[in-house]
Structure 1
Amino acid sequence: MKKIVIVLLLSLCTPLFSAAQNAKGGFRDFPDWQAVLNEAKTTNKNIFVDFYATWCGPCKEMDATVYTDPRVSGSLDSNYIAVKIQMDRTKEDNPKIQSWYQEAASLGKKYQINAFPTLLFLSRKGELLAIESGFQSALDLVRLLQAANDPQNAYYLQLQKYQDGSIALKDLLNLAITTKRYKHDSLADAMAKRYKTGYYDLLSLDSQLNRSFTDLITHFPGTIKEKDRIVSYMYANPKILDSTFRPGLSNDYISYFIRRDIVDPLIDEADQENRKPDWARITKEVAKKYGNQKATNLVFDSKLAWLYKKEDWENVVKLEIEKVEKKGIQNAVKASSLQVNNLVYDLIFKKSNNPVYLKKGLQFMEVLLEKNPADHEVIDTYANVLYKIGRKHEAIQQEKKALILAEEKKHEQNVQVYKDVLKLMQENKPTWQ
């Protein structure tokens, strides 16, 4: 009889014992967050949290292929208290998941969890070691687990060094980038500003044109101004940056600085005064430092962007045609047939009633058709322009041709569109509305 009682007791205790042990993939169940912190303190292990959602595909893939990898589960078992926390709420949630709703919301707010999966690495005291978002392969996750377990890489320690002023200024940019990735934007901006003024600006000009420069522009564009010495130096020595990264990069950055710091403020000033920008004045201001050609090209692009914003379609069409003609229609078609087709259909055909512009659009399409004689979308655009110009018979013939080609390729959506267009043409109704 005693043997039966012992067996029954063991069978009753087994589920409770298992719940406290490592679950699938090394994860464990806890009643609340405080219990996780207590366990980390008792076992002297760091904490790993997988924030997931039930609808998240990458989360499910990691469950199936990553957490089952012995390298991952081994690293988790040895060094971490691993926990999975569901961030969404569903009707199928069991009582255990429901009991974590409030904790999940609190942690989500604290660490700004808005992408899944998000992986949180904490010290045994609950201090932030690292955060990563998105799918991680088994090898990548092992590397992350190892890096986070190294005290020298701990984010909270680097943050302490920044706060007490002991961090080397040359290391501050990497910390700023990490801080921004962790969504502490104002703190990251302050770090980047300190890095630039306290370290970067003191380097020789040629030494500034390196990875740090592109990192500053990418992550903290406001730290570098058009009036900075490095911008003038880069303008005079474009090959330094171009040879390290890619041809034309210096020109792209220079154009960005000019637009942001010279052109856009003058446009904003005009908008605030409810008047059109003085394009001649803006061109003159840019030309003072960067020459007439650079000024003309930049101001042209800025004017076109401004016209788009104002929905001044007639002038947008005018400048877009001018842009193509400067480049050469043959070169434009060679660079992108789709772009030319979209320009003619979406702008010239749909937005303009000017016969001069419509004829230009027709000329563009004739060149495009030479290269794409069997493209039903190109033929459809050509037919619509013909129709709007008034060449109805030719337009119907071309639209029928587009329809036949679409039917042969079984492009059902296009087939229906072309049938509708044909009907409108035959009924003498506009096809551009």
Structure 2
Amino acid sequence: MKKIVLLFLFIPLLGSAQNTGTHFEHGLSLQQVKEKAKKENKYLFLDCFTTWCGPCKYMSINIFPQEKVGDFFNKNFVNVKVQFDKTKDDSEEVKSWYADVESLRKEFNVRAYPTFLIFSPQGEPVHRFVGGGEADDLIASAQKALNPETQYYTVLKKQGAGNPSPETLKELVALAEAAYDEGNASKFASAYLATQKDPYSKANLEFISQNAKNSKSKGFELMLKDPKKVDAVLGKGKANEFLASVILSENIYPQLRKPNVNIDSLIAAATAKYPTVDISKSTSLLKLQFYQRTKKWDKFQPAVLTYLKKYGTEVTAEVLNSFARTFFNNCKDPNCLATAMAWSKRSVEETQEKEPSFLDTYANLLYKMEKKEEAIAMQQKAVDLASADQKDEYQATLDQMKKGK
């Protein structure tokens, strides 16, 4: 009987523990959660996430369940988690939000995750911020949504009204960039450049390089129109470097997560769209990274060889070590291993045999090529240089080599 009484006394404590943390609504549409927020006179907080986003998972597991986070968000907001990607395992509730998600994505240009969108009790967008963080940082960022003086969209609307000065426009660009709001950042950047008598001055071109993030921006248009003029101010190849970065971010990167993607077709389409911009250097590296990620080793090796043949003198020791390590782990062909060993040797020489991880790679390749004495000597150097958290791992490899395993 005593045990039963103790159990009943413990049940309320269990219930209390389970109710801590942030409460997220379920089973309601976007319009319905807006109505709920209006009825309760609370702001609406949308946590826009994807299933593949690491910071999103961290927030869900470690931050939102905290009691102080729940106390703040439950008091001030109606909270909703909104999944922005689609998977074969999506529940009916997630599917019911597909149309709302596309509407939100289009209206607010959500491209980074997690993005947090906040609406007033009347349903008007007032604030946004991006990125995971610790509990106090999250609360501080969301707190700004409760004050008209710090609400992102409210400030943007107020300062952007009328005929803002060039300095105000630059401030608005910085504000929009901080909020990952590329649409407004591009709009205000274009408005700023329109006020400039010489958009090709060094200061303005540096401004463009930092803030023009899409092909519809005035800055992209200026760079594309006269790259020689840009290079004369910023240095040879700077215009192409900037243009290629924007082209890849718009035309190639977003497609790479799709199943059965053909990277050669993507590159060909982007090249045809912008024939005056040389994207070959960026796409050569991208192709081998893609083959590495998708484990297409038959294509990875020739892609690496092609890249190194063209750009080998520019490749860092770190990248060479990465290539060599990948070949060591996934290639059994002696010719393939010999190539990898040459890269690894170069990475070791360029760092003057002072980087233990590079020495470890080289030692493993030497051993695999049956140069055991050289391998043991090189691995001993790696052990001697290794930090405390690496030493045991490298020592274990050395011991195996000495045992002939």
**For this structure pair, what is the TM-score category when the shorter chain's length is used for normalisation?**
0.5 to 0.7
Pairwise mapping of residues 271-350 of structure 1 onto structure 2 (< 5 A)?
Answer: 275=262, 277-278=264-265, 281-282=268-269, 285=272, 288-290=275-277, 294-328=278-312, 331=313, 336-345=316-325, 347-350=326-329
After superposition, give the CA deviation of every residue in 1:405-425 in whole Å (9 maximum; x if it has no partner): 455457454443234324544
Q: Among 61, 76, 79, which residue is 1:106 paired with?
A: 76
RMSD: 4.9
CA change 1:378–1:159 in 2 (3 A) is closer
Is 2:242 the partner of 1:253? Answer: yes
CA change 1:286–1:88 in 2 (3 A) is closer
| SS of residue matched to 2:275 | helix
Larger Rg: 1
- One-letter amino acid of the counterpart of residue 354, structure 1: D
Partner of 2:164: 168
CA change 1:302–1:128 in 2 (3 A) is same
For the 8 Å contact 2:328–2:337, the answer to whether it is kept is yes
Is 2:188 the partner of 1:200? Answer: no
Is 2:252 the partner of 1:264? Answer: yes
Q: Among 372, 392, 395, which residue is 1:416 paired with?
A: 392
| SS of residue matched to 1:237 | helix
| SS of residue matched to 1:129 | coil
Pairwise mapping of residues 226-245 of structure 1 onto structure 2 (< 5 A)?
Answer: 229-239=221-231, 241-242=233-234
Is 2:341 the partner of 1:362? Answer: yes
- Normalised by the length of structure 1, the TM-score is 0.50
For the 8 Å contact 2:328–2:365, the answer to whether it is kept is yes
The alignment of Structure 1 onto Structure 2 pairs a total of residues equal to 287
Identity of aligned residues (%): 11
- One-letter amino acid of the counterpart of residue 311, structure 1: K
CA change 1:422–1:235 in 2 (3 A) is same
After superposition, give the CA deviation of every residue in 1:15-38 in whole Å (9 maximum; x if it has no partner): xxxxxxxxxxxxxxxxxxxxxxxx
Q: How far apart are 1:191 and its partner, in Å?
A: 3.9
Partner of 1:134: none
| SS of residue matched to 1:277 | helix
1:121 & 1:198 partners in 2: Cα distance?
30
Q: How far apart are 1:214 and its partner, in Å?
A: 4.9
- One-letter amino acid of the counterpart of residue 195, structure 1: F
CA change 1:157–1:417 in 2 (3 A) is closer
| SS of residue matched to 2:227 | helix
For the 8 Å contact 2:376–2:398, the answer to whether it is kept is yes
CA change 1:323–1:359 in 2 (3 A) is same
Please, which runs of 5 or more residues in structure 2 have no aligned partner? 1-63, 80-117, 119-126
- Normalised by the length of structure 2, the TM-score is 0.52
2:267 & 2:158 partners in 1: Cα distance?
52
- One-letter amino acid of the counterpart of residue 339, structure 2: K
Is 2:363 the partner of 1:386? Answer: no
Q: Which has the higher helix share?
A: 1
2:153 & 2:264 partners in 1: Cα distance?
48
Q: How far apart are 1:253 and its partner, in Å?
A: 0.6
Greater shift, 362-371 or 195-204, is seen at: 195-204
